[in-house]
Structure 1
Amino acid sequence: MAHQLETMAYVGATPWHGLGNKLTTHQPLEVWQHEAGMNWQIEESPVRFLSDSAAHLGSIHTFPEQKVLYRSDTKAPLSVVSQRYKVVQPFDVLEFYRDLTEYAGYELETAGVLKGGRKFWALARTGQASVLKGNDVVSGYLLLATSCDGSLATVATPTTVRVVCNNTLAIAVNGSAESIRVPHNTEFNPQAVKRQLGVSVSQWDDFMYRMKTLSERKVNTGEALGYFLQVICDTEKDVANRRELTQHRALQKVQELYSGKGRGSQMESAQHTVWGLLNAVTEYVDHDKRSRSVDHRLDSAWFGQGASLKQKALDHALALVA
């Protein structure tokens, strides 16, 4: 099956999905643009259609309320949207990081294009890091992503990556992800978003304090099973009655990851702790959840059902230490 992940560039270790063009560190944005497949623009055209009625055979009409978005390089259509739709260009996503990488110590780590150009993103390491007991390192990142088909607003999301297993988790405080969302009926203002992110990024210490609390909260076998039932299956009754294959497999897999088969599951921070429960779910979503391809899994883990499942896992984990 063809990949949704059209092109991607990265620095450092090969990403968990094994795709992309490897770069050396501190490359200019123009190199990233080329190697990540983001060296094209989104063009616009009015919607036109051909009448096939007998009286007007071959007549071309326009529909002024809508416009077609298409790629400047291949001319491939991307979507049909309203005239109010504000386009964010692929290079705008990279340009967002220019002052952050030049003056604030950020470093781009991955960037790429999904779904033939309908979604694109860049991910940068912020330089923030915390260490949980047993030398379990968690690093801070900033993900900026957008779409041109209405499936995703332009979203800047502070994100953590657990180094030992590359599990990703959006930073969430007070029950919601600390994302800045700019809908496509609004002009994307990078500097305004960065000013708002200044508040969100400052929540790093608070969020990591909570993760430290998770790593110190011990759980018994019954609590672990109850957690996974709530996160994966909603209720124990639901499992007993429905017994869907996908749910059963997911429940079995997260229990295996938690019990010692997961990367980092035997570290002091994760053994028999709520932190270990949470990372069993995030590892399952990022690395093991069934998907049509690895790039479908990436799309889900960052933007779709996988991201929602990780947020649910975090909510239930925090409830155990409330």
Structure 2
Amino acid sequence: MAHQVEQMAYVGRTPWHGLGNKLAEKQPLEVWMEQAGLDWTIRETPVRFINGDKGHLGEILSFDDHKVLYRSDTHAPLSVVSQRYQVVQPREIMEFYRDLTEKSGFELETAGSLKGGRKIWALAKTGQSGLLKGNDRTDAYVLLATACDGTLATTAQFTSVRVVCNNTLAVALNGQSQCVKVSHRSVFDAEAVKKQMGISVSAWDDFMYSLKTLSERKVRQSEAEKFIRSLFQPRPGQAEQKSNERAMAKVLGLFEGEGRGADLPSCRSTAYGLLNAVTEFVDHERRARSNDYRLDSAWFGHGAKLKQQALDLTLDLVA
């Protein structure tokens, strides 16, 4: 089966999605761009079409309101967008981290592209971390991603990774994700985005306090089962559909001890353990066509939304 991942690179241990080229630490951005498969540019060309019938060469016309985006290296088409569409180049995604890695102690950990280059990302560790009971560590990261097919605004987002299991969770406070989004109708200004995100850096302590609170909230099995049903069964007003029994059974099993780190004091029979059962299911266990499809969903798609819903619901338990 064809992978969505075009190419990617990483440092340290193999990422949870099991993909990529391993690099030595503290490599320059130029090496990252080459090894992550991001040393190309997005080019533009007018849309052209032939107005003749099948089998007859007709007049070549242009569609002036739109343009074709394509790769400079392979000339493979990426998308058709409006003339107002502002392209963000792969190099811009990587350059976002130059001063952060050279002056602020950030460390690039993974970068690459999905869907033939239509979606591009880089992930860097900020140096911040937090500990819960049982030496259960969570590290802070900044994820920058963009797409050139209209599926994603350029998004800079604080995210967390629980070390014991590599579960990922977007940092959110009061139901709001700590991220900055730049529409492709606007020019991407990396420095302006960093200034906006500077307000959110201080939110890490508040986020870790929320996780600590979850780790101290004991959860009975009946509460866990109710939580899982509310997360996976149809919402009121939705068309009836068969509930995902396999998913619910798997999440419950992860919560009850099958999950990585489920036996740590922070997780055992707690709301934090319930949250991690969902994040582990999304990141590692949920059915997907391949690991790279699972990555795309866990960071940008339905999986990311499911994890956000789980965070909101667990925080309701301690409200």
Contact residue 9 and residue 32 of structure 1 kept, 8 A = yes
The offset of 1:234, in angstroms, is: 4.7
Q: Given the alignment of the two structures, is residue 223 of structure 1 paired with residue 230 of structure 2, yes or no?
A: no
Q: Secondary structure at the match of 2:125?
A: strand
Q: Who is 1:119 aligned against?
A: 119
Tell me, in whole angstroms, the C-alpha distance in 2 between the residues paired with 1:87 and 1:316.
Answer: 37
Q: Can you give the 5+ residue segments of structure 1 that lack an aligned partner in the other structure?
A: none
Tell me, in whole angstroms, the C-alpha distance in 1 between the residues paired with 2:263 and 2:304.
Answer: 25
Q: Who is 1:279 aligned against?
A: 276
C-alpha distance after superposition, 1:179-216 (max 9, x if no partner): 10001000000000000000111100111101100000
Q: Given the alignment of the two structures, is residue 156 of structure 1 paired with residue 156 of structure 2, yes or no?
A: yes
Contact residue 39 and residue 90 of structure 2 kept, 8 A = yes
Of 277, 294, 297 in structure 2, the residue corresponding to residue 297 of structure 1 is 294
The offset of 1:26, in angstroms, is: 0.4
Equivalenced residues, count: 317
Give, as a single letter, the amino acid of the residue that structure 1 aligns with 2:200. S
Contact residue 136 and residue 267 of structure 1 kept, 8 A = yes
C-alpha distance after superposition, 1:41-99 (max 9, x if no partner): 00000001111159x94211111100000000000000000000000001110000000
Q: Who is 1:66 aligned against?
A: 66
Give, as a single letter, the amino acid of the residue that structure 2 aligns with 1:305. H
CA RMSD of aligned residues (A): 1.6
Identical aligned residues as a percent: 61
The offset of 1:174, in angstroms, is: 1.1
Give, as a single letter, the amino acid of the residue that structure 1 aligns with 2:259. G
Contact residue 108 and residue 123 of structure 2 kept, 8 A = yes
Contact residue 68 and residue 81 of structure 1 kept, 8 A = yes
Give, as a single letter, the amino acid of the residue that structure 2 aligns with 1:262. G
Give, as a single letter, the amino acid of the residue that structure 1 aligns with 2:309. K
Give, as a single letter, the amino acid of the residue that structure 2 aligns with 1:283. E
Tell me, in whole angstroms, the C-alpha distance in 1 between the residues paired with 2:96 and 2:235.
Answer: 43
Give, as a single letter, the amino acid of the residue that structure 2 aligns with 1:303. F
Give, as a single letter, the amino acid of the residue that structure 2 aligns with 1:115. K
Tell me, in whole angstroms, the C-alpha distance in 1 between the residues paired with 2:234 and 2:279.
Answer: 17
Give, as a single letter, the amino acid of the residue that structure 1 aligns with 2:193. V
Of 311, 315, 319 in structure 1, the residue corresponding to residue 312 of structure 2 is 315
Q: Secondary structure at the match of 2:65?
A: strand
Tell me, in whole angstroms, the C-alpha distance in 2 between the residues paired with 1:57 and 1:152.
Answer: 37
The offset of 1:243, in angstroms, is: 3.9
Q: Who is 1:30 aligned against?
A: 30
Q: Who is 1:165 aligned against?
A: 165
Q: Who is 1:205 aligned against?
A: 205
Give, as a single letter, the amino acid of the residue that structure 2 aligns with 1:122. A
Tell me, in whole angstroms, the C-alpha distance in 1 between the residues paired with 2:282 and 2:6.
Answer: 21
Give, as a single letter, the amino acid of the residue that structure 2 aligns with 1:207. F
Q: Who is 1:248 aligned against?
A: 245
Matched ranges for 1:2-21 at <5 A: 2-21=2-21
Q: Secondary structure at the match of 2:188?
A: coil
Q: Who is 1:192 aligned against?
A: 192
Give, as a single letter, the amino acid of the residue that structure 1 aligns with 2:298. A
C-alpha distance after superposition, 1:199-252 (max 9, x if no partner): 11110011110110000001111111111111122569x9xx7544xx101000
Q: Provide TM-score, normalisation by structure 1.
A: 0.96
Tell me, in whole angstroms, the C-alpha distance in 2 between the residues paired with 1:88 and 1:125.
Answer: 22
Contact residue 285 and residue 301 of structure 1 kept, 8 A = yes
Contact residue 229 and residue 235 of structure 1 kept, 8 A = no
Give, as a single letter, the amino acid of the residue that structure 1 aligns with 2:274. L
Give, as a single letter, the amino acid of the residue that structure 2 aligns with 1:296. Y
Q: Secondary structure at the match of 1:298?
A: helix
Taking a change above 3 Å as real, the CA distance of residues 86 and 242 of structure 1, as seen in their structure-2 partners, is closer
The offset of 1:30, in angstroms, is: 0.3
Tell me, in whole angstroms, the C-alpha distance in 2 between the residues paired with 1:31 and 1:62.
Answer: 39
Q: Who is 1:96 aligned against?
A: 96
Q: Secondary structure at the match of 2:276?
A: helix
Q: Provide TM-score, normalisation by structure 2.
A: 0.97
Give, as a single letter, the amino acid of the residue that structure 2 aligns with 1:99. D
